[in-house]
Each structure stands twice: as structure tokens, then as C-alpha cells.
Amino acid sequence: MTARIVLHDADITRALRRIAHEVLESRRGDGRLVFLGIPTRGTVLAERIQRIVDEIEPGTSSVGSLDITLYRDDLARTPTRAPAPTRIPDEGIDDAIVVLVDDVLYSGRTVRAALDALADHGRPRAVRLAVLVDRGHRELPIRADFVGKNLPSSMSERVSVRLADVDGVEEVTIEP
Amino acid sequence: MTGLLIRGATLLGETREDIRIRGGRIAATGRLTPELDERVIDADGLVALPGLVDLHTHLREPGGEASETVLTGTRAAAAGGFTAVFAMANTSPVADTAGVVEQVHALGLQHGYATVRPIGAVTVGLEGERLSEIGAMARSRASVRVFSDDGRCVHDALLMRRALEYVATFDGVIAQHAQEPRLTEGAQMNEGALSGELGLAGWPAVAEESIIARDVLLAQHTGARLHVCHLSTAGSVEVIRWAKARGIAVTAEVTPHHLLLTEDLARGYDARFKVNPPLRRDDDVRALREALADGTIDIVATDHAPHPAEAKECTWAEAAFGMVGLESAVPVLQTTMIETGMLGWEDLARVMSSAPAAIGRLDGYADPLTEGAPANVTLVDPAARRTWSTDDLRGRSRNTPYTGVELAGTIVATVHGGVATVLDGDLRPADEVVAAWAGLREDARG
Amino acid sequence: MKHLLSTRDLDRATAVSILDIAEDMARTADREVRKLPTLRGKTVVNLFFEDSTRTRLSFESAAKRLSADVITFSAKGSSVSKGESLKDTAQTLQAMGADAIVVRHHGSGAAHLLAHAGWIDAHVLNAGDGTHEHPTQALLDAFTMRQRRYGADSRERDLAGMRVVIVGDVVHSRVARSNVWLLSTLGAEVHLVAPRTLLPSGVETWPVTVHEHLEPALALGPDVVMMLRIQQERMHAAFFPSGREYAREWGLTAERFALLGPDTMVMHPGPMNRGLEISSAAADSSASTVLAQVTNGVFIRMAVLYLLVAGSSEERA
Ligand SMILES: [Zn+2]
């Protein structure tokens, strides 16, 4: 059986645009926005969302990446991987509204690790979570604030996000 | 049973004959019919060799009983087809007096697995300073004829000269462990690219070759006999070849391990491969094989050097030098020399029996396997092959370098002075061997 | 990676990835919270048969920054100095639940033995074995060179095009061995300078150019000059006649130092013998990376510990 495409490139662009608007709407007051992507694809998505936000409200947001490899609680069960760089914008995250961005939300363990990592970098006013796809099956009490597409899936299925910058094609697929 | 009949053995790999053994001697050879009181050994397909003689064995007793004793060492010898071993002097106390050599000699007689001829120390305590009581050892019941400080080199040139001259007085020979001590301080393995890479101090070939060169010149100058232990380098072979061409009375030995193994084994820092002199390069192995084949090297001797596990289960530099080799000697020789066509079985009999016996002045090995000769016989199954393991060892220690190596040939039977010490490929029990010797002495008196 | 025993075992990709991970570790050093939870619940044992406070502290601090539990066994005053064998000590540590053993030993091959003798199944990290290797020192040297050369743009780069001159007691130096293999794997051009007495046998088979005198090597315009520590007792074993003569012939004197290019780095694994292999003028100059080497040592050791210990348990067959 072959993979089924659930989001085409245009769908992805639309989803990110919607997320950008939702983030701006949800921001109350004049809080500074910091988008932090979780490598590899979360970083790409964070950059795209921030670009949209910056077009609408120039100069009110910044973007970076937050590697969580060294914070994972499943290190001993997976092959060792090299960490990706963490880039925190020069202004830091203290008192900012941090929006964590990832491609897929699944068990929630990545987000937990990201929250741990974030705490070692400073103290944001609030932390939000944006994901392109939420496929369910949470193992922790974590939920996303902004979701591109809810994609109920079976645990045996495989959800893949491919982005032009990383993979050469732009699509989300599901395969049995 | 008072006699043995070996049926259908191939004598020295040449002719198929039966061998009758009675009263400790070869009673007859040829086509023989079994008699009622004989134990018959079916030797179809087996090669009959004279009992083997090891000129270089470390039996460790007295003092080193944790690694070997005269009993366990001679059992290992018998399992390897040996009927006589020369026991090195570096025991504790050192075999530098008549008392110690007589004790070791007597232990050999008591157990009966092999004839034990002690080697006397050249210098007191192997210290390289004063000559030991060479005359007393020579005249003792052990009738010592081989003298060696093995493990150490008699490096002082004057002392070596005197030793050669003095030992000659008693028809003895100095067996020199050729190792220039200053050039080998802290030495761990063959000096070369590998020692440089592994960070182990090198044992340069020149440290062996320079001593051999000096010693053959001293032997020439004094007219005395010299025996050089465990040659390990191509350069040493050249020096011996030169000396023999000049008519110098020098004999040389090589160990089985130097005929098979090379320094590359040090790469894993497994101290089982740490030995003195060290394993060398392929070129050296080739030169040693050729020299043994052309007679430049006279004999093979095992340098059987047992060590307890803890002396090998440590870092390379902390580990003891040496490997056990009695049980594996014939398989290694068959693998390296016979199967390569470099030696025949008759040659093997020479380099592992008659020649070492002649150097050590051991009687009874000059005309082996002939009527009237002492019954020292070894039966080899040349068709057998096995992957070597520590289960194949019969001594007290386990430090063999051959585990996992496939070797050709196996010892099926050993007869020492008419007494079977090995039958069907395994040792006979100690009480049976002792009783058989007692029976022989009864017969001799009666 | 199961063990780190020798830089010979590292291919270019692995070596570069260790340096890159060390960059990540270095980043965490400027944060508010320096500690990472990565090795929480893991036990790292420092087993030091040889005294070396600097290296021991560096490993301890690396393991602690990664939240590992750290146990240190030093030869002095413990059972290891009372004749207990390496095997018994290692098995004791294994029984205590060591996930990784950082070992320094005076015997070449000690780390290899711990890793492969079948006594234990912990990860083994060679912190210096006899005159064999000291892989983390070479890695931190390479890291330091790369950082000086490329700064923030270091990631994913190797040392291609860099010319490194290593001077001194190569035959007894585990630092030199580890550096020769690693630097050449990373594409650097390596030169060794020493009198013949201090060159290892077989050096002609190494991926290096050998010089017996210092001037011709310095005239090549090296990017790095690495001075090895000279042990005073060597002169008694006839490796060279006197410290004065050594310093004159092979030392990085103030005069020689003055001839170096403005960007040439001066490295030393420490501790230095000032006035012997290195002059104070060189050691205290801005060309000297000695202090950076100490700082970077922690990052490299964090990176290696991470790679060895954090990995999946299935790898630990
Ligand atoms: Zn010897």
C-alpha cells in the first residue's frame, strides 16, 4: 500500500497563514513574540510563520530554534543522534511570549523536553504551542494552541511531513 | 600385560611396520604377530616417531607451583609426545646447586611421565656476576650438561667467555638467551612500526643479533660449544649461518610459536601473545622456517612457559612473558613445516628428538626405533585437524596463544622407556604410570 | 559509538560530528542554567591509575554538566594502588552500576583491554593509556584549532588546508599519536619535529612529514605549532644531552616565536616546562591557546560522554 497525501503544498501554506493570524489574535497586549522551532522541520515552519507575522506587524517578533536532543527522556531507547543547534534571538526569551513550533504533535514527549530546555534559557511570560499536524495519541497532558490540521491516525500508521527546504517536496502523507 | 605391540605404524613416515616393546626396549620391528601378554595398539594411518626431546622447558618447580610442577609439566610433555624435557634453571630457588638439580631430577623419576634433565644456572642466582657450581651440578645424580641463565642473558663478555671455557671442561654447553639488556630495557614487543603505533617499548632485533654475533666469536675463540636459544629474527639466522660456515661449534633452536605467529597479534593488547623474545614479522618467520629446513637451525624447543591467569589478565606491560607450548608443538610443526613440504617426518624426528638429545648429552636417542634401543615412541595422527582450545592443554596453566587456531595432527600415543604415558590420545593415570615403572624395575632386577 | 579508545578508529564524519556536538555543548556554557539533564540517572566512573588532576577535573566537570552521577577512583590511597588488578577493579565498578568508565592508566592498551577483555560491558573512554593514545586531548586540540580558524562558522568543517607542526618527545607522547591520526583524518597537513632519539620506530609509515630540526618546519609558515612536554628524566636515558641543549635546538624560544606569522597558534597539552620546550614569550602571548584548550576540554568530553552514554541500550550488546 502506498502513502496517501493529506496536505498538498497549497494546504500547508494556507495552514501556516491561518496559524500566523491566530497567534496574532491570541496575543493580548503588547507582548513580544518569539517563535522557536524544534529542529529540523519545526525550525523551518517557525521561520515561515514568523515571516508572515512580520509582514503583518513588522518588528514585533523574532525567530530561533530550540534543540531538545539533550533533554529527551527516551535517549536510552533510540540511536544516538547529533544535537542540532539552538539559536535564541539576541533579546532572549525573558518576558516574551514564546511560540514553540513543531511539525507533528504525537506523544507530547518532544514538547515536554522542549519545555525543560526552555526553562534553562530563561523565563517567558507565556509559552504556546503551534503544530502543523496533530495526530493524537498523547502520553502526556499536553495540547496544542494552534493546529494546522487535526489528523486522527492509528498508532501503526506513519505520518510524514515533507518541506521543500528540507525534503525537496512539500506535502503531508499518511501511510499504513 | 608386560608388553606393547604397535601395529601398522608408518615409521618416520616411510615404511609400514610393527613395533614390539618389551622390558623398556624395542624388542623387534617388522611384521609381527601379537602375543598373548601384549597390549596391541592399532596404529593404522599413524606416524611413529622417536620420543620427542624438549631442550627448553620451564617446569617452574620449585617455587612456581601455582603455574606448573614437575608432575603437571611432564604430563603436558607426554601429551605433546615428549619423553624427555630439559628443565630450565629459573626456578625459586634457582637451579644453581647440586641440591636443587637433584631434587628436580628425582621428581621426574618419581612420576615417570618423562625423563627430566635439569638445566643448571650459569651464574649464581642468575645474577650474571659469579659462576655457579657447574662442576658439582655436572657430577651430581642429575648429571647436568646444559647450563643456562634463560630469562636473562649472560651479557658480561668476560663472564660468558669463562663460562664457555669452564663448561667445556665438563662436556657441557651454554644455552644462551640472547638479549642485550640495555637495548631492551622495558621492552615489550618487536621494535617496529607496530610498537611505535601501539606505544609499547620496542625489543629490537639488534639486541638479539649483537649478542649472538659476540657469542659465536667467543665460541670460536674458546673452541667451546655454544647453543643459542629461541632464535627469532632473520638477522640471527644470518649470523648462525655465517658461524657454521666458519666451523664454529654452535647450535641453534627455534620455538614453534616463532615459526607460526607474528607481531600483529599484539594489536589487541592480549598478553597471551607476549613472549620473550617477542613475536616478529612475516619475513622473520619465513627465514626461521627456511633455516630449520636447511639445517642452519638445529632443533625445535618449546620454551614452554606456564603462567597463572592473573599474570596474563592485565595490561600488556604488566603481564609476564611466555606461552605454554608442549602440547601444541607437534601440531604447530606439522602445520608450518610438514604440510608446507619444508620438512619430512624423518627431519622432524631429527630436530625434535635426536639433535636436541645430542646437544644435551641425553643417551638413548641416537638410533631410535631400532631393535635394542630404549622404547621411546610417539604416535602421531597426521590426518587429524582441530581447532585448538584450552581444553587441549594438560599442564597447570592456560596461556596458550593458539585458542581458535586450526592445527594439523594430534598425538595418539606416547611411550616413555617402555611405559605408555598416552594412549588413545589421552594421558594414562598417574598411578598406572608409576606402577608400570615399578614393574620395569622389578623385571630388571629379576 | 560504544567506546572511545583511539583516534585511529574515528572517520572524518564521526570526528566532525564530535566537534560539532562540542560546539553545542559550548553554547550551553553561556546560558543562565549550564546544566543539561542528558545523562540523568547514568553513572560515570573516573578510574585514574595515574595522577592527573587536570584531566580528572575536566572529565568530572563534563559528566556533572550532563547531570550524570560521578564516581572518582584515584590510584592514590585506594585499592588500585594496593595491587588490585585492573580486572578486579573494573568488575567492582561494573557491579556498582557504572555506565561508562573513563580510564587513565600508565600501561599502553589498558583502555582497549577494559573494553574488549570481556570483563565488563560498560562504555570505555580512554583518558590516556601509557604512551599510546589520549583521544580527547587530540579532539580538544582539533576543536581549538577549528574555532580559532573559523570562529562562529566552525560547524561541519574539518581542518583541510591547515598545517600543524608537532615538536618534541613524540616517542613517549600519547598526545602526539592521537593528534597525528585525528588531524590527518581531518585533512590537516601534519609535520613532526624531533631528534631521532625521540621519534618512534616506524614513523616513516605515519601520515606525516618528519623533520629533525625545528627551523625548516617553522619556515613552512605553519598555522599551528604544538609543543610537547619534555620529561626531564629523558636526558638521563641518553635521549638528549641536557635541557639547555634541547631548548636551544628544539625549544620554542622567544627568537623562534618572533619569526612565526601573526595568526600562528601556539599549543601545548600542559603542564608546560617554561624555558625548556617553550619560552614564556610564546606561552603568554595571544598566539597561545593553552587556556582555551582547558576550557574546550570540558566541551569535548561532554560531547564524547553524550555520544557514548546517551545512546540506545540495544547498542550495548
Ligand atoms: Zn629464553
pLDDT in tens, C272-308: 999 999 999 999 999 999 899 999 999 999 999 999 9
Class of domain C7-133+295-310: alpha beta
Evaluated on CA atoms B386, B388, B390, B392, the torsion sign reads positive
Take residue B125 and report the three cell numbers written for it.
642466582
Please give the average per-residue pLDDT across A80-87, as a whole number.
Answer: 79
CB contact under 8 A, B195 and C108: no
C208 touching B, CB under 8 A? no
B313 touching C, CB under 8 A? yes
Answer yes or no: is pLDDT of A20 > 50. yes
Report which of C73, C105, C113, C111 is spatially closest to residue C92, judged by C-alpha positions: C73
Measured CA distances, C200 to A73, B142, C195, C249 (Å): 47, 48, 11, 19
Partners of A77 on chain C (C-beta within 8 Å) are: 312-313
User: Band of the pLDDT at C76, cuts 50, 70, 90?
Assistant: low
Specify whether the CB–CB gap between B380 and B411 falls below 8 A.
yes
Partners of B200 on chain C (C-beta within 8 Å) are: 108-109, 130-132
Report which of C235, C231, C237, C283 is spatially closest to residue C256, judged by C-alpha positions: C283
pLDDT at A69: 87
Partners of C153 on chain A (C-beta within 8 Å) are: none
Give the pLDDT confidence of C21-30 residue by residue, as tens digits: 999 899 888 7
Chains that touch C (3 or more CB pairs under 8 A): A, B
Q: Name the residue in chain A with its Cα closest to that of C42.
A: A76
Instruction: Residue window 202-261, chain B: list those with CB within 8 Å of chain C.
Output: 202, 204
User: Band of the pLDDT at A43, cuts 50, 70, 90?
Assistant: very high
Q: Which of B197-201, C252-256, C313-317 has the lowest mean pLDDT?
A: C313-317
Instruction: Residue window 119-178, chain C: list those with CB within 8 Å of chain B.
Output: 129-133, 171, 174, 177
What residue ranges of chain B have pLDDT lower than 50?
none
| ipTM of the prediction | 0.92
Distance B181 CA to ligand 1 centre (A): 13
d(CA A112, CA B122): 78
User: Band of the pLDDT at C314, cuts 50, 70, 90?
Assistant: very low
CB contact under 8 A, A116 and C37: yes
C275 touching B, CB under 8 A? no
B to A contact (≥3 Cβ pairs closer than 8 Å):
no
Q: Is the peptide bond before A176 cis (omega within 30 degrees of 0)?
A: no
List b or e across B11-27, with b for residues whose CB sees 16 or more CB atoms inside 10 angstroms. Answer: bbbeeebbbbbbebbbb
Within-domain flag for A78: no
pLDDT at A147: 96
Please give the average per-residue pLDDT across C39-67, as a whole number.
Answer: 93
Chains that touch A (3 or more CB pairs under 8 A): C
Evaluated on CA atoms B282, B288, B294, B300, the torsion sign reads negative
Rg (CA), chain A: 16
Partners of C21 on chain A (C-beta within 8 Å) are: 82-83
Q: Name the residue in chain B with its Cα closest to that of C170.
A: B196
d(CA C313, CA C317): 8
Partners of A70 on chain C (C-beta within 8 Å) are: 24, 36-38, 66, 306, 310
For chain A, give the mean pLDDT.
Answer: 90
Distance B256 CA to ligand 1 centre (A): 14
Question: Which one of B269, B272, B310, B313 makes the best mutation probe of the C interface by having the most chain C beta carbons within 10 Å?
Answer: B269
> H or E element: which one contains A7?
strand A4-7
First to last CA, chain A: 7
CB contact under 8 A, C86 and B315: yes
pLDDT at C237: 81
CB contact under 8 A, A70 and C155: no
B to C contact (≥3 Cβ pairs closer than 8 Å):
yes
User: Band of the pLDDT at C315, cuts 50, 70, 90?
Assistant: very low
User: Band of the pLDDT at A79, cuts 50, 70, 90?
Assistant: low
CB contact under 8 A, C108 and B315: yes
Specify whether the CB–CB gap between B9 and B17 falls below 8 A.
yes
pLDDT at B422: 97
Report which of A145, A42, A161, A144 is spatially closest to residue A102, judged by C-alpha positions: A42
Q: Which of C105, C116, C201 sits opposite B196 (nearest CB)?
A: C201
A87 touching C, CB under 8 A? no
pLDDT at C52: 86
d(CA B20, CA B3): 7
Within-domain flag for A79: no
B372 touching C, CB under 8 A? no
Catalytic, out of B18, B298, B303, B347? B303
Pick C135-289's CATH classification: 3.40.50.1370, 3.30.420.340, 3.20.20.150, 3.40.50.880: 3.40.50.1370
Specify whether the CB–CB gap between C168 and C121 falls below 8 A.
no
Distance C110 CA to ligand 1 centre (A): 26
Report which of B132, B129, B130, B137 is spatially closest to residue B100, judged by C-alpha positions: B137
Partners of C13 on chain A (C-beta within 8 Å) are: none
d(CA A156, CA C197): 66
Backbone torsions φ then ψ of B132, nearest 5 degrees:
-80, 180
Measured CA distances, B214 to B148, B177, B227, B234, B326 (Å): 17, 13, 13, 17, 31
Within-domain flag for A34: yes
pLDDT at B406: 97
Each domain of chain C, given as residue ranges in start order, spans 7-133+295-310, 135-289
Q: In what order do the strands lie in the sheet with A97-105?
A: A61-65, A33-37, A97-105, A126-134, A146-150
A81 touching C, CB under 8 A? no
User: Band of the pLDDT at A29, cuts 50, 70, 90?
Assistant: confident
pLDDT at C73: 87
Question: Which one of B190, B203, B315 makes the best mutation probe of the C interface by having the most chain C beta carbons within 10 Å?
Answer: B315
Give the pLDDT confidence of C224-247 residue by residue, as tens digits: 999 999 987 777 788 998 889 999
CB-facing half-sphere around the CA of B409: CA atoms within 13 A = 27
Contacts of C228 (CB under 8 A, 6+ apart): C166, C167, C168, C169, C170, C173, C175, C176, C268, C269, C277
Specify whether the CB–CB gap between B331 and B408 falls below 8 A.
yes
Specify whether the CB–CB gap between B313 and B398 falls below 8 A.
no
d(CA B87, CA B194): 34
Distance B152 CA to ligand 1 centre (A): 7
User: Band of the pLDDT at C317, cuts 50, 70, 90?
Assistant: very low
How many Cβ atoms from other residues are within 10 Å of residue A176's Cβ? 11
User: Band of the pLDDT at A78, cuts 50, 70, 90?
Assistant: low
Active site (annotated) includes residue B347: no
pLDDT at A176: 86
CB contact under 8 A, C37 and A75: no
pLDDT at A15: 95
A85 touching C, CB under 8 A? yes
Specify whether the CB–CB gap between B107 and B147 falls below 8 A.
no
Specify whether the CB–CB gap between B185 and B179 falls below 8 A.
no
Chains that touch B (3 or more CB pairs under 8 A): C
Within-domain flag for A32: yes
pLDDT at B13: 80
Residues shown for chain A: 176
Question: Which residue type is seen at C307?
Answer: L
Q: Name the residue in chain C with its Cα closest to that of B199.
A: C132
C211 touching B, CB under 8 A? no
The reported pTM is 0.90
Measured CA distances, C249 to C167, C213, C216 (Å): 11, 7, 12
Give the pLDDT confidence of C206-223 residue by residue, as tens digits: 999 999 999 999 999 999
pLDDT at C316: 36
3-state helix, strand, coil in chain C (%, to 5): 45, 15, 40
Distance B267 CA to ligand 1 centre (A): 23
CB contact under 8 A, A120 and C315: no
Q: What percent of chain A has pLDDT over 70?
A: 95
Alpha helices by DSSP H, listed for chain A, are 9-26, 41-56, 109-119, 164-167
User: Band of the pLDDT at C184, cuts 50, 70, 90?
Assistant: very high
For A171, the domain range is: 4-72+84-175
Within-domain flag for A35: yes
Q: Which of A15-19, C6-10, C87-91, C192-196 has the lowest mean pLDDT?
A: C87-91
d(CA C164, CA C226): 7
The residue whose grid cell reads 605467529 is B261
User: Band of the pLDDT at A2, cuts 50, 70, 90?
Assistant: confident
C87 touching B, CB under 8 A? yes
**What's the CATH number where A17 sits?**
3.40.50.2020
Distance from the Cα of A158 to chain C's closest Cα (Å) equals: 22
Q: Which residues are placed with Cβ below 5 angstroms of ligand 1, an ion?
A: B 150, 177, 229
Count how many domains chain A has.
Answer: 1
Q: Which of B199, B204, B314 sits opposite C130 (nearest CB)?
A: B199
Specify whether the CB–CB gap between C139 and C15 falls below 8 A.
yes
